[in-house]
């Protein structure tokens, strides 16, 4: 839970770096380059994700793989 508390205090750009890159200057430099590329396009961009979608994604990610029975995994496959 400590990571969540830390993440809530960061700007969106710093949160991106915190989640996806290490603390080394080289890694963070590459992260800033990635952020720059992500926001280069200004036309026809996807809408920003709202808090409701982020919460649903977080719930799905944290719940993924947790099952009391391995058969449950196979029952959910198409």
Instruction: Give the tens place of pLDDT for each residue, 30-69.
Output: 999 999 998 888 888 888 888 898 888 888 888 776 665 6
Using a cut of 0.95, tell me whether the model's pTM lies above it. no
Over 80: is that where the pLDDT of 11 sits? yes
Over 70: is that where the pLDDT of 74 sits? no
Helices of type H across the chain: 2-7, 12-20, 25-38, 51-63, 70-75
- Tokens 């449950």 locate to 72
CB 27 within 8 A of CB 21: yes
């Amino acid at each position: 839970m400590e990571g969540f508390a830390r993440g809530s205090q960061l700007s969106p750009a710093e949160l991106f770096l915190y989640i996806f890159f290490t603390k080394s200057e080289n890694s963070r430099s590459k992260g800033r380059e990635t952020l720059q590329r992500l926001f280069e396009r200004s036309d026809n961009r996807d809408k920003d994700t709202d808090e409701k979608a982020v919460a649903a994604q977080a719930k799905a990610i944290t719940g993924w793989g947790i099952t009391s029975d391995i058969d449950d995994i196979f029952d959910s496959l198409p």
